Each structure stands twice: as C-alpha cells, then as structure tokens.
Structure 1
C-alpha cells in the first residue's frame, strides 16, 4: 500500500483519562476538540563518516550481578550519563560509576522502588535530563510474584532529587487494571514526562499468557514540574491502551533542546513497514485544559525485520537481534531521531545483515 503525502493524511487527536492522583483514577475527562496539530520536526538521513574516539572503557554489570536468579534474560540493559556519573540498570539492579569507571554503588531496583522483592519486576529504563538536571528511571511491576497469576501491571517512575544519582529519589506509581504495559518507554521535554508501554491483556488472571491479545499503546503524561518538586500527587493524564492498536513500540523522545511539544515516534513493524507516525503531545496536565495528543503519518523507505546474527565462535547458536520496532527517540535542535533494528545489505557485502536503522 502506497501512502499519500503526509499533508494529505488527517491528524488524529486523542483524549486522555485525566488523573490527579497516580494511585487512583478520578475519572474526569478534558474537552480537547478542535486541537491543532503542532509543527512536526524535520527528519534527517545521515551517513556516518567518522568513528568516535573512545576515551575510556570499563566493565558494566555482568550476569552474576543480576540478583534475579538463573534464567533472568534478556538483561534489558540501559545506560545513561550525567554530569559526573554513568548509571547502568539491568532487570532489577542499578550500578553507579564515575566517568573513569570507578564503582560508586550498586542498588537493587525493588528496594529503590520500595516494592516486595518477591513481586515480578522488569524492563527498567534510565534517562538523564539535561534540561532539569534530574535522573528518571521507569520500571514495570506486576501484582504477583508469579507472572502467570498476575492480574494487573503498574507503571513505576523514580525521579532523582538532584543531579547526583546517589541522593534520594521520589517514587511514583500507576496501576493499569487488567493489563500490563510491556517494555515501558520513557521520554521528556521542557514541561512533561511520558512513560508508556505496549499493553497486553491480563484477562482473566494471566499476564504471562503470550496468546492474550495486544491492546495497543498506553501512556501517561506527567507534569514535569510536579515530579521534579517531589509533589506527592503529581498532575497526570492517562491515555488508555486503545490509542493506536496498529503501531507498536511508541517511543517518547528524550528532548536535548528546549521544546514545548513532547514528540513521540512509532512504526508499523507488523504490517506494511513503510511509514513512521509522529505523535505530538502539547499542553501540561493540571487543573486547566491539560494535555492533548495528535499524530501525523510520514512515509519512509520500506524496511523489514532483521535476520539472526552469527555469533563469533559458536556458529550453531545465532543471536536473536529482535524485530523492527523502534527502540529509542531523541529530539534536538528541531530534528527528531529514531533508532531501531532492520535488515540491510552493507556496501561491498552480499549477505543480508542485522543493521541499525
């Protein structure tokens, strides 16, 4: 299917469930009809012409450090860098280094988020925000130690009280009834923070059943000012899982330059694989109009899922490089960058490889 030009595709607008307290729904909705699609950032294609110089290297968390027992894989490794520190998170462990690689501390994420260590938890993400000078960590937690008995999932969010990751964090959570937000994403701009996830049904009592239906992307828009200030009940808008049941893996952008619009990016990695969708989140959760979301679709060159990658020294055990969903998004200086995995044949090669897109 050939997509028409982006300008010919009408924008879609979404209405959130307005939530003032992240622990309980207050069930009031904002009227947002007639919203105008914000300006969509430019897209750029860049050929890598130079190789960055490595100033130092050091070992991160290894499997014995995982603290989650045998079979705890994949490790879901995430790394962020602040003014003075490098912080790595895996399934349930965080480790803080200085920039020379000296180990400062190791902490269990269940302890950080103050949850029962027997409860199933996973999929952390960590970002350092250069605008607010704060660390943000998102986390997925179920309501049962046994994923096959879980009925609900929860978004958890930790926000540092300073630019020093060894200092206390403010902790927030939001329960998603009857569903769980798989692989929670995390992004922010000047005045908003978004945590989102690929929502799967837990009906009736089994979040671990891979045959249960995919419900769509769900996400929360948080007031960044409230989070940074450590407000006990920050203003937030919840956008339920039917926002877009076709795209998969909507990634909120980490904004590295000032913008009043928080952009998100997704692709249709299960179907036509020839477009991306730009989500524009405007407004701020609170007692007034709150946030609103609009989308526009942009055609790109058709892509396909990456093949298995050969593993050096073990030809019988190839590496699963995943599918073609987007993994990350960055906004900076008017450009929106998205990354994912796709198949390609490199120059001077005749074999289809797993490549960065």
Structure 2
C-alpha cells in the first residue's frame, strides 16, 4: 500500500454520542484529501453495542507469548455483533506518503531496453485480443466486494491457496473458500479487526490495515500478518500482528495462536511478508509521527518460535537506508522460499535513490541470530514511476483515474535458487522506461543470491498499440516445472477494468512472456465510487496482489487481483491458472507385454505448447499417476522428465489381444491418453539354444497361454538384417501350466546366427521374442563326405560335406561304367559345413557314384566316393 489510512475495519470507540455526531459533521464538512485513506468508526446508535463487544474480547498483554483464541470464539463475536458492519461511516484521516520518487535520477549504467537479454524482435509486445497463454483459467470467483460509498479504499488485495481452501484477506474481510468449488465454506468470514482483536493496540479508535495471508507448505500452517493503526492517527508507534493456524485446513474448531511485535519510534507501514524454512521476513516503510517518510525496516521472526507457546523471537535488523533519501531497498519485500534446505533469507526492493537499480539484503542464520548484509546492488533496465491509470467509463476526469502507487516491487518468491519479482513502471510503446505513455509490468529473475546476485533475465509486459492499455499491480511466481505466471490489473481509456494473467514456459526465450489472458469479463461496468472521488493521485487501487503455486501439486497457480465486477464496486477476483496438460503418450517400450508379466516399461510422450509430464516430489500431496485399462495394474510410475515416465506393470488377468488405453494424470488432475499398449496372450518363461556340429536346437517354454495359435521360427545371419521364416510350431491354445517347445534347425553353414520367435494368437496379433544370445556354427574338425539325401531320390538330392580347411573342391557324378555324367561343384570354399544340390532329371534310373576331391591351401588332398540310387 502506498498511502496509509483508507481502510474500513471495525473501530472500538468508547465515546459519547456527541463525539460520534461530531465525526459525522466532520465527514460532511471537511473537504476530501485527494490521496487519503478511509478508516472506520461506529455510528452513534451502536456505541453501546461496541462497548458490549469489547467486553467479549479477551486481550493479550504479552505479544511474545502465544495467545490462543478459538475460531469459534472469533466467529461468535462476528455473529453477535454483525450489525456493527452496517453502521460504519467513513472517517478521513491524515495519509502517510512515501517519498516522491518521480524525479529520481536514472542509474547511468541501466540499458534502455524492455528486456534482458536484449532482443531486436520486440517479442515482449502484446496484443490483448489473443488468448494463447501457457496457463489457462480454471476456477474463478469474486473473493470480496467493496466500493460504493463505504470502501474500504483500497482493499489491499491479498489471499493464498492451501491444500483445501483459498483464504482471501483484505481490508475489511477475512473469508475462506472451498478451492475445488470456489464457494465460501462458511468457516471464516470476519473482519481483520475482529480476527486480531485480542492483540490490537488498546487505544480507542485503533483499526487494522495492510493484511498479508500465506500458507506455508513446509510447516503446513497458515500465517496472517497485519499492522494496526493505534487511535486511527498514524501518530503512535504501531504493532505488527501475527496469527498462526495449528494445521493446514482452517476449521470451525481451529484454535489460532496470536502474537504481536510492538514497534517503537516510528510508524511501520506497508508490511511485506516472506516465509522460508527458517523464518518470517517482514519488511516495511517507516514514517515519523508527523507523517514524513524516514526509512525502511526489516524484521525477522524465527519460525520455530511461533509454532508453540512462544516466546516469539523477533529480530529487528534496523533501518535499511542511511537516510530518508539514501541508497538501499525501498519497500523491502520479504522473500518467500519453498526450499526446505534454505539457510539464508532475503529482502529485496527497488533502490531508494535511483531508478534502474534493485537492492538485495541477505539474511544469515535466520533461524538463529540473524544478521543482514549490506546492499547487494543489481543494475537493471531503466525504470520509471508508473502513470495514473485511465479506464473506460471514468466520469471523474483526471481525478477519477486509478492509483498505480509507485515503482515498488510487489512480492518476491524464490524457486530453485533464483528469485522472481515484478513491479509496474511507466514505459513507452517499445516497453522502455523513457517518455512513458503507459504502464507495463516489469519482471525479473535473479540468480547467484548466495554470492554476487546477477540478472538471469527480465522482461516487460506492455501494450505496444495506440490503445495505450495499462498493466499494473502485478505479481509473479514460478512453479515446480519452472514455468512462470504474472497476474495483473488491466485497463485503458478504451478498456474496462479487468484482471488478467500472462505466463512463460521454462523453454521460452529469455526475457519473454507469451500473450496475456484477460480473465475477468467486465465489458460494461464503470468504476466511479462515491466514497472515493479521487484526486490528482487518482482513486485508490491495490495496494497489492498475490499469485502463488498450489501446495498440493506445485504446478497450478492461484492469483488474486482487484477487478470491477459491477458498477462503482471493486472485486477481489480469484483465478486458478492451470498448467499445460501432460504430454501425449506416444509409445511404450516394450510396446506389448505377455499375459502374467510383472515388468518394467518406459512410457514416452510428445510435448506440444508446453505440455509435459510432471511430479512435484515425495513431500507433496498430489503425484503423477498412470492408468492402463483392460485390467493392467500399474504398480509404480516414476517421473524421469517432461516426456518420459518409467513404469512397472502387472498383466495378470488383463485383457489380451487389443491395444490398451494409457492415461497419464498430472498432479493437477489434467489427463492425456492414447491407445499404445498391447497385452499378449503368451508369457514366455525361457528361450535357449544348443549347437551340435551344424545343427541348432531351439527350446522355449511358456508359463501361461491364452488363445495361442503358435510360433513362427525366424533366423538371420548376424551380418544380415533380413529375417527369414524357417519353421512353425503349433501352440497349445490355452494353458495355465508350463508348456515346453523345441525346434531343430539342421545342416547350417558355418557362421553366426540370430533367432527369434513370432508368437501369434488366433486373432492375428503377434509379438516377437528374441533369443538373447547369438548362435555360432563352427568349423568341422575333419573332412567328411556324407551320404546323399534323400537316397534313393527322384530327381533331386543333396550332398553334404565338411571342410576343416580352405580348399579347392570338386564334386562329380559317374555312372556305373565310370563315365562322368555331371559336374556338381568346382569351386574354392572356405572351411565350413556345406550342402550341394544335384538334379538328375536328365539321367535315367540306375546306380550312380559321386566323388569329392579337395586340395587345401597347404597342398593336402582329400577324396571320397559314395553310391547313390536314382529311381524314376
């Protein structure tokens, strides 16, 4: 929040009726301060009720010790004294301004670019009529409504998502919603004043302001912080109020622990909040009691100290600026960090003294005795103060425009060792902070936080058209997938006020976002609330927004920003932003598995437009899952990367012979499916081979068969890629016990062979089973001429011979008289097993002789003669 006191919480004034009437007179006779804030007091006819209300509030006198208050007690007060809400009147109170930053000097080293690394393509420019954002809107709802004549102005839009709820925390209302339905769950619905009544300052007229709500996945608790405004003046040192839930879901039976930190010497405004494994980091701006900006401040609350009875251990790290105009972080943002192993904490802000500069402060030993570093200065692209925002339907002229605060950062969040943050800045039509004509959302990713911080990338979301639309009050977060999303408010002279988002995929070019998505659907409502006529600084808006990642899946974003849901009213619009869906399953290796198997397979997917598999890790509630229909049991699914999952499946009892549907469900519940997996009817339990000279004996066994027609036996030379069918063995059909099979492949030539079985069912489905080892037919040990076969024969026969050495081989045929009648072979052969074919179709029946002679390379000779009978 830029300016302090325009809030509408409940004040507990114990004053005479005449004083209340005087307040009414003051309201209607005192001219509006154009940048004031609205507090709340109680009208005269409810003073007695207010007195009674205070009697029902149990009060803590030691802010360091946990003060337990059941939610049922808080809500009972809300129910009992609910009429007080309708009796509020606006009370104009002196504002608290930040320093005038509009004329700060520019960092001379800041480049005049819209993004880093720089790009000539200007691909940060946006067109608002497109909707191809990487995240898509899911559940949306209006979390809280205000405006009209009563405000509060501004609401200080805040909220966060937990395992089961979304909690909206704004000035004037804390309310819980079922995050699955977007419907209020009735658990908590009260004012921040009533919620924190036990720990507020005791001064009459005190109210609360600037809420922050955070769900912390590491401790599985909700944290609420807020400041109070003692006596409603800002001229008294105030408190930081802290509320902690006992667990992850707020229920009617929840008992909150409340603490407070008493500030001193100045007024602490615009509290920020970051949470990590060790601490809560609360930054803020400091003002003198006369209302002048004086410094910035950093508080560190040891997280372990507020999990039980206390005492709460708070370390005030002191002023962060050497002077009100000195260099250092302005509006220091405490940094959220979900890393359970974090050992350091951080504050970050824009530089108090120059544009184009960020200042980081590193907190060491935050869970013990914290110490803070000096300024860690980071030069970024030029920046500038934002402009007051025009909006379609504005009837208030220049005074009716909307406040954009200044160039302060809006929240900061760590992810995988890098810090993401954003702010609104004035830019031109190129997105550069020079001669600004519109507002853009500038974002940063910063690395090397533990040493010397460096800028990894930055960009600007802006309108490069003549429409001059504005993007302002942005916040950014990054998910476990390393995708990022920004939520923002959107408006222009020709555009109604709406809430929207923009995102980038982890694979997108550095410094770029994709096309923004306008989520709320205001096309006709105007915002001209009578309770906030505005001024030169415009009507109040913001003061902030929030976007966070779902603690169940680490991939879904939840955002809340101010919007305009009806004429002259604002809304606090909540949007679920869904990540891209899972990658489309494209293959499984192996693609088919026999019945009765328990086997590891690898699922591969195809990614498009950012789709991908994801699992957040074992500490999250939701996980990646895979289902295969037809009775296939997926025992485990292990995430490897965005396109790969390792599975272990069991196919006992599964449906065979048809391609099964594989469905991948990401942790966010989105699915992607394809029919790519087959369960075959045979489970092969063994497949072996043995060699006897040049004969190969194959044996295999099945432990389960259903609908098994049989097996083709296929062979190929190791040096060849062409498989050849050499036989078929009939299958058993159906069997629940072991069945043994064999096949003899005889009279092979020397060489190395591969074998495989092609199992075929009666429907024609098949699967290959490879013999795991190659088969080698070796060289004979001696010369052999075998008897021809068949014998007798008509008209063809085969003559086998063995060569233990390389030799010139001659095979001839002779008739009974010794006359040569045929020359079967006359060739050089390497050592090995051979079979020669002889066709005697030209010869007549009778007795014949065949002879072999071989001359080896070293001069050895071998010869042999055998008889054969031709019968026609």
TM-score, with normalisation over the residues of structure 2?
0.33
1:52 alignment counterpart: 135
2:236 alignment counterpart: 151
Q: Distance in 1 between matches of 2:264 and 2:330?
A: 20
Task: Please tell me whether the aligned partners of residues 343 and 353 of structure 1 are also in contact (alpha carbons under 8 angstroms).
Answer: no
SS in 1 for 2:144: coil
2:49 alignment counterpart: none
Say whether 1:262 aligns with 2:340.
no
1:62-73 alignment runs, 5 A limit: 62-63=145-146, 70-73=150-153
Q: Distance in 2 between matches of 1:55 and 1:242?
A: 41
User: Following TM superposition, by how much is the alpha carbon of 1:98 offset from its aligned partner in structure 2, in angstroms?
Assistant: 0.7
Say whether 1:224 aligns with 2:303.
yes
Task: Please tell me whether the aligned partners of residues 341 and 354 of structure 1 are also in contact (alpha carbons under 8 angstroms).
Answer: no
Q: Distance in 2 between matches of 1:301 and 1:353?
A: 21
Pairwise CA RMSD: 2.8
2:416 alignment counterpart: 333
Q: Call closer, same or farther: CA 1:352–1:293 in 2, change over 3 Å.
A: farther
SS in 2 for 1:95: strand
1:235 alignment counterpart: 313
Q: 2:406 aligns with which of 317, 323, 326?
A: 323
TM-score, with normalisation over the residues of structure 1?
0.76
Q: Distance in 2 between matches of 1:347 and 1:237?
A: 43
Pair member with larger Rg: 2
1:119-130 alignment runs, 5 A limit: 119-130=206-217
1:185 alignment counterpart: 272
2:184 alignment counterpart: 103
1:1-357 alignment runs, 5 A limit: 50-63=133-146, 70-99=150-179, 100-104=181-185, 105-113=188-196, 114=198, 115=200, 118-144=205-231, 146-147=232-233, 150-166=235-251, 167-202=254-289, 209-210=290-291, 212=292, 214-227=293-306, 229-243=307-321, 245=323, 246=326, 247-258=329-340, 259-268=342-351, 271-284=353-366, 286=368, 290-294=369-373, 295-314=375-394, 316=397, 317-344=400-427, 345=429, 346=462, 348-350=464-466, 354-355=470-471
Task: Please tell me whether the aligned partners of residues 286 and 297 of structure 2 are also in contact (alpha carbons under 8 angstroms).
Answer: yes
Q: Call closer, same or farther: CA 1:128–1:154 in 2, change over 3 Å.
A: same
* Structure 1 unpaired stretches of 5+: 1-20, 25-43, 203-208
Task: Please tell me whether the aligned partners of residues 80 and 87 of structure 1 are also in contact (alpha carbons under 8 angstroms).
Answer: yes
Q: Distance in 2 between matches of 1:157 and 1:225?
A: 14
* Structure 2 unpaired stretches of 5+: 1-61, 66-115, 118-122, 127-131, 430-461, 475-872
SS in 1 for 2:305: helix
Task: Please tell me whether the aligned partners of residues 222 and 235 of structure 1 are also in contact (alpha carbons under 8 angstroms).
Answer: yes
Q: More relative contact order in 1 or in 2 (CA 8 Å, sep 6+)?
A: 1
- 1:136-159 deviation per Cα after TM superposition (whole angstroms, max 9, x unaligned): 111111332x315x4211111111
Instruction: Pick the structure with more strand per residue.
Output: 2
- 1:45-78 deviation per Cα after TM superposition (whole angstroms, max 9, x unaligned): 79698342111111211117x9xx9353111110
Task: Please tell me whether the aligned partners of residues 198 and 218 of structure 1 are also in contact (alpha carbons under 8 angstroms).
Answer: yes
User: Following TM superposition, by how much is the alpha carbon of 1:241 offset from its aligned partner in structure 2, in angstroms?
Assistant: 3.0
User: Following TM superposition, by how much is the alpha carbon of 1:187 offset from its aligned partner in structure 2, in angstroms?
Assistant: 0.6
Task: Please tell me whether the aligned partners of residues 154 and 174 of structure 1 are also in contact (alpha carbons under 8 angstroms).
Answer: yes
- 1:317-356 deviation per Cα after TM superposition (whole angstroms, max 9, x unaligned): 2222221011110011111011111122346425765445
Task: Please tell me whether the aligned partners of residues 152 and 172 of structure 2 are also in contact (alpha carbons under 8 angstroms).
Answer: no
Q: Distance in 1 between matches of 2:151 and 2:415?
A: 38
Q: Distance in 2 between matches of 1:128 and 1:310?
A: 35
How many pairs align?
A: 301
